[in-house]
Amino acid sequence: MDKMEKSLFKKPLSLVDQLKYELKNAIVKGRLLPGQQIREIELQQWFKVSRAPIREAIRLLEAEGLIAINSYKKKFIRRITRNDLDQMFPVMAVLEGLAARITSQLINDKMIKKLIYINNELKEANENKDYDLCAELNYQFHNIYIRKANNSAIETAIRGIERGTIWLWLTNIYYTVDKVVNASINDHNKVIDAFKKKDAKKAEILVREHILNVNKRSHKFHIYDKKGELLLKEK
């Protein structure tokens, strides 16, 4: 069991929450691939549980954007398209930039040290080609200044955009290229410097640029099919 799994299972989870976690883990780690059909009867056999909690777990993952249902009521792992990313990242850039602007006036030395520590861990994870950990550490880095802004409207909006598709994309596509991870680490260091100086305007600009650069790097280093769907690489 990895670090993230241990942290999630510190508190008892309901059967539905456990099923949701296991399915989400299978999706983001590539055991269930975008476009793959989800059949309840197969999941029943897999988990050895009744259909009711399976259906509820699927419903929750549909709400998070990881599972899609077509006009024939068939359920599939959601595909990731260039259009999805082009629509989401500019919005994310504005929201996270605003969070960084607010946080720059509230951040303390302890939090700055934590950001530095996480970014160093991200570098090490990339060197070890532990891309799942890269995605988790990146989430932790951004989450620090998002949470510190203490604005529920901003946080809710960000989580609504990122929780499904973005996580799937980060773990299966973006964080499988050393160059893009190193670029993100460099961007993070610039943001940390702005926080150290409590430069609100600079922090906002740098975070916005960082988020938009993530999308640009995706287009530069990854392949799309004729429908604009991102092609996954084998891990």
Q: Residue 154 has which token pair?
A: 């901003």
> 27, 62, 77: which is the final residue of a domain?
77
Considering the domain architecture, whether residues 56 and 117 belong to the same structural domain is answered as no
Considering the domain architecture, whether residues 162 and 215 belong to the same structural domain is answered as yes
CB within 8 Å of 106: residues ≥ 6 apart? 148, 149, 150
pLDDT digits (tens, 9 = 90+) for 136-149: 898 899 999 999 99
Please check whether residue 8 is in contact with residue 21, taking contact to mean a CB–CB distance below 8 angstroms.
yes
> 56, 77, 98: which is the final residue of a domain?
77
% of the chain exceeding 90 in pLDDT: 48
Please check whether residue 111 is in contact with residue 142, taking contact to mean a CB–CB distance below 8 angstroms.
no
Considering the domain architecture, whether residues 70 and 97 belong to the same structural domain is answered as no
pLDDT digits (tens, 9 = 90+) for 186-212: 999 999 999 999 999 999 999 999 999
What's the predicted TM-score (pTM) here? 0.75
% of the chain exceeding 70 in pLDDT: 81
Which one is predicted more confidently, 76 or 229? 76
CB within 8 Å of 88: residues ≥ 6 apart? 161, 162, 165, 166
**Average pLDDT, integer, range 31-49:** 88
CA 92, 194, 219, 166: dihedral to nearest 10 degrees? -40
> 77, 103, 134: which is the final residue of a domain?
77
Examine residue 172 and state whether it is found in any structural domain, yes or no. yes
pLDDT computed for residue 152 by the predictor: 95
pLDDT computed for residue 134 by the predictor: 85
pLDDT computed for residue 230 by the predictor: 60
Considering the domain architecture, whether residues 113 and 156 belong to the same structural domain is answered as yes
**Average pLDDT, integer, range 53-72:** 88
pLDDT digits (tens, 9 = 90+) for 63-114: 877 888 888 889 998 877 788 788 888 999 999 999 999 999 999 999 999 9
Considering the domain architecture, whether residues 97 and 158 belong to the same structural domain is answered as yes
CATH number of the domain within which 33 lies: 1.10.10.10
Q: Residue 13 has which token pair?
A: 């989870």
Buried b (16+ CB within 10 A) or exposed e, 153-172: ebbebbeebbebbbbbbbbb
Considering the domain architecture, whether residues 180 and 205 belong to the same structural domain is answered as yes
Examine residue 204 and state whether it is found in any structural domain, yes or no. yes
Domain span including residue 27: 3-77
Reply yes or no on whether the pLDDT at 157 is more than 80: yes
pLDDT computed for residue 234 by the predictor: 45
Reply yes or no on whether the pLDDT at 164 is more than 70: no
Examine residue 234 and state whether it is found in any structural domain, yes or no. no
